[in-house]
Amino acid sequence: MGVIVVKLPISKWLQNLGIACSIASLFTLFFRLSDFAWITKSVYHIPVFFMILFLLGLVIAEDVRKIFKKIFWYEKRKVKRPIWQVGIGFIFFLAQIGTVMVFSTELTQPQLGGMPLFLVFAFMNAFILTVIYEEIFYRKEKTNEVSE
């Protein structure tokens, strides 16, 4: 029995990791708030349901990314950069919100003018992470034409 290894660039691997974390944490949160809270039993403060969904999320994350590219006609766009930035920022934003809601619910209480403070921090972090991510992974090769 062999192990299937899929080689992905680290940028896609990070995106898939964020998508899997978002899927797992949001579903875990929904079940925790429902009558089926017994599903989210924890081992070492990590919900077992979260871990199962995280692993399943890693399996389907690549397909989720491809589906969203088709939905938003990513390949047909002349300028792909704006939709790319929004997509990466959204992945970072949802992953942070889901992680706080599942693992640190006490951080959801402080508010800033009526808005939960963790949403403000998640938005700021998503913006900063998108800029850092772009500087590291989204460098287009620039051709320098030398005029003689």
What is the pLDDT, as a whole number, of residue 107?
Answer: 80
For the CA atoms of 55, 16, 101, 122, the dihedral, rounded to the nearest 10 degrees, stands at 170
What is the pLDDT, as a whole number, of residue 93?
Answer: 93
| Segment 103-109 long-range contacts (CB within 8 Å, at least 24 positions apart) | 103/45, 103/46
Instruction: With respect to residue 147, please indicate whether it lies within any of the assigned structural domains.
Output: no
Instruction: With respect to residue 85, please indicate whether it lies within any of the assigned structural domains.
Output: yes
Kindly calculate the radius of gyration of the chain based on its CA atoms and give it in whole angstroms: 19
Domain count, the chain: 1
What is the pLDDT, as a whole number, of residue 24?
Answer: 92
What is the pLDDT, as a whole number, of residue 56?
Answer: 94
Structure pTM? Answer: 0.76
Give 61-125 as a DSSP string.
Answer: HHHHHHHHHHHTTGGG-S--HHHHHHHHHHHHHHHHHHHHHHH-GGGGS-EETTEEHHHHHHHHH
What does the alpha-carbon distance between residue 88 and residue 81 come to, in Å, rounded to a whole number?
11
Instruction: With respect to residue 2, please indicate whether it lies within any of the assigned structural domains.
Output: no
- Full residue range of the structural domain in which residue 95 is found: 10-137
Q: In which residue ranges of the chain is pLDDT below 70? A: 1-8, 139-148
What is the pLDDT, as a whole number, of residue 147?
Answer: 44
Token pair, residue 95, equals: 């992953």
Instruction: With respect to residue 33, please indicate whether it lies within any of the assigned structural domains.
Output: yes
What is the pLDDT, as a whole number, of residue 6?
Answer: 54
Instruction: With respect to residue 1, please indicate whether it lies within any of the assigned structural domains.
Output: no
